Amino acid sequence: MTRPSDVKPREGDQPASLYKDWVVGAEFPPLPFTITPEIVQEYMSVVDADPSHYVIDGRQAAPPNVVAVYMMAVMYRLYPPQQGGIMIGNTIRFHNPIWADEETEVIGSGRVTDKFEKKGRKNICYEVEFKRPDGTKLVSVSHRSAFPE
Amino acid sequence: MAIVEGRVEKTIPQTQKMFDDYGKLNGDNDILHYDDAYAKERGFRGTLGHGLMYTGYVCDLAAKKFGSDWHYRGELTVKYIRPVCPGDNLVVSVDADGTVQCESQFDVTLVGKASLV
């Protein structure tokens, strides 16, 4: 089992990356982790999910967005987090199911796609892709956050 | 949860415990989610809920709406336009045309679109 907190640097624990540090095109080091049935259960609890919404041909799947709790860990491996970040938006695309009754090995990777200042906010955009070790795509995310410094 | 004329809707009252439980899972230590005084100093009504938690709420209704196809061809775009704080009574919805929204008693907090691609 990989809890996101096992692989995610915590805000305030180390010197934070600042806006000036972000480089468009920079790639995040691949992050391997394992989603277990226990993680799926806990995720469904914290997003108030109904298991009946995720049954495929009689088999219980996970909410495919369960990978969302690992997303920032992928980015933070290259850019340690700062306090006070605000999420602006996400586009999430689902490619294949994640099953609720088995362990799923996943590799998260990604890159910085843009940075810009708007209305006094320092915006960072990045993409994260989650795949199985055999290359099967699970989920792709395009993300934007704003940071104070 | 209610389904009326293709619109799926659910009301989820927000508590600090929900923010804490989500943060415990995702390992988030950003004090905007936990420190009421800091959040108010930043100009918010209180601590902020996690944006990805609200994405999870919306995804749950989209999964209901689109069924198995959601896992293979689902796409969701969301923007977080206003904060959600403890005490907010959040109405989460996906309309028949895929328009998604979260709305509290104060503001529309999230807008977006769910679809199959």
pLDDT-derived band at A141, boundaries 50, 70, 90: very high
Q: Between chains, do B77 and A89 touch, taking CB under 8 Å as contact?
A: yes
A93-97, B31-35, B64-68: range with lowest mean pLDDT: B31-35
pLDDT-derived band at A96, boundaries 50, 70, 90: very high
Residues of B in contact with A7 (CB under 8 A): 27
High-pLDDT (> 70) share of chain A, %: 98
Taking only the tens place, the pLDDT of each residue in B78-117 is 999 999 999 999 999 999 999 999 999 999 999 999 999 9
Residue whose C-alpha is closest to residue A4's, from A44, A41, A33, A30: A33
Q: Please compute the mean of the pLDDT values over residues A68-74 and round it to a whole number.
A: 93
pTM above 0.90, yes or no: yes
Yes or no: say if B51 and A87 are a contact pair by the CB < 8 Å rule. yes
Q: Please compute the mean of the pLDDT values over residues A22-30 and round it to a whole number.
A: 96
Task: Please tell me which of the candidates A7, A12, A56 has its beta carbon nearest to residue B29.
Answer: A12
Residues of A in contact with B29 (CB under 8 A): 10-13
Q: Between chains, do A46 and B60 touch, taking CB under 8 Å as contact?
A: no
Q: What ipTM does the predicted assembly reach? A: 0.95
pLDDT-derived band at A11, boundaries 50, 70, 90: low
In this structure, the number of other CB atoms found within 10 A of the CB of residue A26 comes to 14
* Residues whose CB falls within 8 Å of the CB of residue B98, separated by 6 or more in sequence, listed in order: B62, B65, B113, B114, B115
